[in-house]
């Protein structure tokens, strides 16, 4: 692959072999649209963008240098993923999401469209994030300098239009109702609902884990790809 810093990759390409360029290393069988920028350079960067095998990256997306993404990554249109981010295997980031720098995202995470994730946020394995959700990392912005990202433990399900306040920890298996404003830590296996969110134990109709068959197949609604390999892979928490 032949590219110049901060110029679009001249896709589309689908290639059996690993791709290599000065600013990015992309694994085998990648499908990368036109107008994708991989390895976007910034002052102080030191590493290329690294992306595993079987990536699907849609037009208009930009992924910065110093970011590492696992296998079977799927990315919608106009997604911005900035530097110093580590993303596990089998993650999906839908269109127009913004992931600011310095994040850690586990395996099998699905992020729906129009989600904003600021720096210092940590997202565990098998988490679902509904559309239009906003994470925050500064409690008194412009009035003091503290930055505190949220921590989302594994198997959390976050509904659409939720606001997650700075520094909040959401415990394993919890479910956040649509539209909630979560301003306090949520214990594991809790339903959080309302503004500000009130907590109650998960009701019997909400199981304590997200379904892997919903999170892990790399299925492209508008493409031919139907992937069953997740069934035979060995999943160990990141």
Residues in the site for ligand COA, rule: CB under 6 A? 130, 159-160, 177-179, 193-194, 203, 205
CB 206 to ligand COA: min, Å:
6
Tell me the HSE value of 73 on the side-chain side, using a 13 A CA sphere: 27
Q: How is residue 66 written in tokens?
A: 């110093």
* CA gap 158, 111 in Å, rounded: 10
Backbone angles phi, psi at 230, to 5 degrees: -60, -25
* CA gap 229, 134 in Å, rounded: 32
140 catalytic? Reply is yes
| Nearest residue to 55 via CA among 74, 35, 41, 36 | 74
Nearer to ligand COA, 43 or 203 (CB): 203
* CA gap 127, 226 in Å, rounded: 21
Q: Is the peptide bond before 95 cis (omega within 30 degrees of 0)?
A: no
Position with the least CB separation from ligand COA: 159
Nearer to ligand COA, 22 or 179 (CB): 179
Nearer to ligand COA, 12 or 194 (CB): 194
- Judge whether 71 and 27 are in contact, CB under 8 Å: yes
Measured between its terminal Cα atoms, the distance across the chain in Å is 31
Nearer to ligand COA, 147 or 178 (CB): 178
CB 91 to ligand COA: min, Å:
17
Q: How is residue 9 written in tokens?
A: 């990759």
Query: Pick the catalytic residue: 54, 71, 95, 140?
Result: 140
CB 78 to ligand COA: min, Å:
20
CB 100 to ligand COA: min, Å:
22
Give me the active site residues, please: 140
């Amino acid at each position: 692959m032949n590219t110049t810093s901060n110029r679009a990759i001249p896709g589309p390409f689908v290639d059996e072999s690993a791709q290599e360029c000065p600013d990015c290393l992309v694994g085998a069988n990648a499908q990368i649209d036109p107008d994708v920028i991989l390895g976007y350079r910034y002052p102080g960067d030191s590493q290329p963008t690294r992306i595993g095998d079987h990536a699907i990256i849609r037009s208009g997306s930009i992924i910065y240098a110093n970011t590492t993404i696992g296998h079977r990554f799927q990315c919608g249109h106009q997604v911005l993923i900035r530097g110093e981010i580590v993303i596990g295997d089998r993650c999906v980031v839908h269109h127009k999401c913004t992931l600011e720098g310095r994040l850690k995202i586990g395996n099998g995470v699905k992020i729906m469209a129009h989600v904003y994730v600021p720096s210092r946020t940590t997202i565990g394995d098998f988490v679902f994030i509904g559309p239009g959700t906003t994470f925050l990392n500064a409690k008194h912005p412009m009035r003091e300098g503290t930055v505190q990202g949220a921590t989302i433990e594994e198997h959390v399900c976050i509904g659409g239009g939720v606001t997650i306040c700075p520094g909040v920890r959401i415990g394993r298996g919890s479910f956040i109702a649509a539209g909630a404003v979560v301003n306090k830590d949520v214990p594991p296996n809790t339903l959080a609902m309302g503004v500000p969110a009130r907590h109650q134990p998960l009701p019997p109709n909400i199981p304590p884990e997200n379904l892997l068959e919903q999170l892990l197949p790399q299925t492209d609604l508008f493409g031919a790809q139907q992937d069953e390999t997740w069934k035979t892979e060995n999943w160990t928490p990141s």
